[in-house]
């Protein structure tokens, strides 16, 4: 049998915090924990996204115009054919429009004069893909095989600082595009 005893005289009775105060302290502690967790998660996610973009630039300097022979020059790094007719230049992609193999240029036995999109064009080559046999005419138009569309033509310009030819591999142009250098 137990008997209930009063606290000795002079001793403090156990404190009885009001419920509202205890709730407030618990909620405040919980809130601080959630804020800390969210902050940490945000910092972790942010660390996955770099401040700097490391995408490759789309413009590439190709060299001085004088370094390009009259006719065609293949640039393997850019997978690009650059054609020169005197002072005018145009550039055709060597990337097959089927599944992206590098097409090969084949010199025509006889240079052809053609009108492409209303502009004269001297055709010196045609192209064919070694992977699945697509064939393209000298201006890059797909003729046979699974290639669904023509080879891309890219924008050319002259760099203001050193006069080199510059290709923009993100800027496709029509088959009437020509760059004329001074
Ligand atoms: S990748 Fe060129 S024909 Fe298939």
Query: Cα of 92 to ligand 1 centre, how many Å?
Result: 16
From the CB of 181, is ligand 1 less than 6 Å away? no
> For residue 23, what is the enclosing H or E element?
helix 19-47
Give me the percent of the chain exceeding a pLDDT of 90: 64
Among residues 137, 132, 164, 133, the alpha carbon closest in space to that of 153 is found at 137
- In this prediction, residue 180 carries a pLDDT of 96
Calculate how far, in angstroms, residue 30's C-alpha sits from the geometric centre of ligand 1: 61
Q: Say if ligand 1 is within 6 A of residue 96 CB.
A: yes
- Cα 96 to ligand 1 centroid, rounded to whole Å: 6
DSSP string over 58-119: SEEEEE-GGGSPSEEEEETTTTEEEEEETTEEEEEE-B-TTT-PBPEEEEEEEEEEEEETTE
For the chain, the average pLDDT equals 85
The pLDDT score that the predictor gives to residue 23 is 74
pTM: 0.71
Q: Which residue, judged by its Cα, is nearest atom 1 of ligand 1?
A: 99
Tens digits of residue pLDDT in 150-175: 999 999 999 999 999 999 999 999 99
Compute the average pLDDT of residues 137-145: 97
Strand order, beta sheet including 135-136: 104-116, 119-128, 135-136, 142-144
> pLDDT of 10-53, one tens digit each?
555 555 555 676 676 667 666 666 666 655 755 555 656 556 66
Nearest by Cα to 96 from 73, 130, 72: 130
Residue-level pLDDT at 177: 96
Question: What is the 95 CA–ligand 1 centroid distance (Å)?
Answer: 9
**pLDDT > 70 in the chain, percent:** 71
Q: Which of 138, 137, 142 is nearest to 96 (CA)?
A: 142
């Amino acid at each position: 049998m137990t008997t209930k005893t009063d606290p000795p005289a002079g001793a403090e009775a156990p404190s009885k915090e009001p419920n509202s105060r205890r709730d407030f302290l618990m909620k405040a502690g919980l809130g601080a924990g959630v804020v800390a967790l969210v902050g940490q998660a945000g910092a972790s996610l942010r660390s996955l996204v770099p401040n700097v973009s490391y995408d490759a630039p789309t413009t590439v300097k190709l060299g001085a115009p004088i370094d390009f022979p009259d006719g065609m020059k293949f640039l393997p790094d850019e997978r690009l054919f650059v054609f020169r007719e005197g002072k005018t230049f145009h550039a055709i992609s060597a990337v097959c429009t089927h599944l992206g193999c590098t097409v090969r240029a084949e010199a025509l036995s006889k240079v052809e004069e053609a009108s492409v999109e209303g502009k004269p064009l001297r055709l010196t080559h045609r192209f064919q893909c070694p992977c699945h046999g697509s064939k393209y005419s000298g201006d890059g138009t797909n003729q046979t095989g699974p290639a669904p569309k023509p080879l891309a033509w890219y924008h050319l310009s002259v760099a203001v600082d050193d006069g080199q030819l510059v290709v923009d591999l993100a800027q496709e142009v029509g088959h009437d595009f020509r760059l004329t250098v001074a």
